Structure 1
Amino acid sequence: MSRIGKKPVELPSGVTATTSGQTIEVKGPKGTRSFTAGDDVTLVIEGTTVSVKPRGTSKRARQQWGMVRSMVANLVAGVTTGFKKELEIQGVGYRAAMSGNVLKLSLGYSHEVNFDVPAGVTVTSPKQTEIVVEGIDQQQVGQVAANIREWKRPEPYKGKGIRYKGEFVFRKEGKKK
């Protein structure tokens, strides 16, 4: 019995959900998102709640039950509040700046790194050492943040690089004479 799947997803005011077959579409103040569930579960809209019910007792149906419920909850959260990832840049001379739809990163390379921001995601740089990635799709926001971080991951000796806000980087001791 799925503990997550049993809970219905509440739709806040201003959010509507419609189903057509196995596809659920959620509309809210920030936009519209949709998700297609597998054939192992049934999506039911009852007033201001969305319930997910398994079709049968197979292992796959029970796995999909909780996963689909989480995906529907993420759709609702995305169109109401959105998702946000914050990155910090540490290192002497390392900085970020937005120029139109391009994030310009100075990361100690001989050249400046230009990162094109994909559609559906907003990237801002409130300070030279901070990057904020926002959007309504949790997976896309996380992927864009990971792609930015991949340009210069934090190294363990001096801690220089791009890291998530609040991320702990295990530091190593350097060579001794």
Structure 2
Amino acid sequence: MSRIGKKPVDLPTGVTAAVSGQTVEVKGPKGARSFTATDDVTLTVEENTVKVTPRGNSKRARQQWGMSRTRIANLVTGVNTGAKKELEIHGVGYRATLAGNVVKLNLGLSHDVDFAIPEGITITVPKPTEIIIEGNDEQQVGQVAADIRAWRKPEPYKGKGIRYKGEFIFRKEGKKK
């Protein structure tokens, strides 16, 4: 039994959900998003909740059960409050600037990295060492944050690089004489 799948997805005030076949469309103050589930699960809307139940007892149906419920919950939080990721840049001379629809990253490489902001995502740079990524699609916000972080992951010796806010980087001791 899926502990996650058993929980119904509550719809807060101002958020509505409609099921047509295997597609759930969720509308809220931050926009509308939809998700198409596989044929292994059944979707129902009852009052202010969306319930996901598996069809059968196969391994795939149980896998899709929890995953579908989580995806629908992400849609609800995205259209209600939005998703947000914060990145910190550590390192001498490492900085970010916003120029129109492009984030320019100076990360100690031989060239500046120009990261084009995808549609549906808003990026702000309050300080040269902070990047805030926001949007109504939690998966897309996380992917953009991971793409930016991939340019210079934090290294374990000095801790230089791009990290998520609050992320702990295990530090190693350097060479000894």
TM-score range, shorter chain: over 0.9
Partner residue of 1:108?
108
Q: Structure 1 residue 83 and structure 2 residue 51: aligned?
A: no
Aligned equivalents of 1:170, 1:61: Cα separation in 2:
38
Residues in 1 aligned to 2:108 and 2:40: alpha-carbon distance in whole angstroms: 50
Q: Which residue of 1 aligns with 2:48?
A: 48
Once residues 62 and 17 of structure 1 are traced to their aligned partners in structure 2, the CA distance between those partners, rounded to angstroms, is 23
> What is the DSSP-based 3-state SS (H/G/I as helix, E as strand, rest coil) of the residue aligned with 2:145?
helix
SS at match of 1:86: strand
Secondary structure of the corresponding residue to residue 118 of structure 2? coil
Residue 130 of structure 2 corresponds to residue 130 of structure 1: yes
Structure 2: stretches of 5+ with no match in the other structure: none
Normalising by structure 2, we get a TM-score of 0.95
Letter in 2 for 1:151: W
Report the 3-state secondary structure (helix = DSSP H, G, I; strand = E; otherwise coil) of the residue aligned with 2:143: helix
**How many residues are treated as equivalent by the alignment?**
177
**What is the CA–CA distance in structure 2 between the aligned matches of 1:164 and 1:17, rounded to whole Å?**
32
For residue 143 of structure 1, give the secondary structure of its aligned residue in structure 2: helix
Is 1:13 the counterpart of 2:25? The answer is: no
SS at match of 1:152: coil
The answer for the alignment partner of 2:60 in structure 1 is 60
Name the counterpart of 1:165.
165
| In 2, Cα distance between equivalents of 1:68 and 1:111 | 42
- Displacement of 1:35: 0.5
Q: What's the CA shift string for 1:1-46, capped at 9, x where partnerless?
A: 2222222111111111111110111011101111111111111111
Match of 2:89, SS state, is: strand
Per-residue CA distance 1:130-156 (angstroms, 9 max, x = gap): 011111111111111111111111112
- Counting aligned pairs with the same residue, the percent is 74
CA distance in 2, matches of 1:168, 1:141: 21
SS in 2 for 1:77: helix
Greater displacement, 83-92 / 54-63: 54-63
Amino acid at match of 1:40: D
For residues 110 and 40 of structure 1, what CA distance do their matches in structure 2 show?
50
SS of 1:158 mapped into structure 2: coil
What is the identity, as a one-letter code, of the residue corresponding to 2:44?
A: V
User: C-alpha separation between the residues in 2 aligned to 1:74 and 1:23?
Assistant: 15
Give 3-state SS (helix, strand or coil) of 1:66's partner.
Answer: helix
Residue 71 of structure 1 is matched in structure 2 by: 71
Q: For 1:170 and 1:54, how far apart are their aligned partners in 2?
A: 41
TM-score by length of 1: 0.95
Q: CA deviation at 1:100?
A: 1.0
**2:33 match:** 33
Deviation at 1:94, TM superposition (A): 0.9
Q: Distance in 1 between matches of 2:172 and 2:59?
A: 44
What residue ranges of structure 1 are gaps of 5+ in the alignment?
A: none
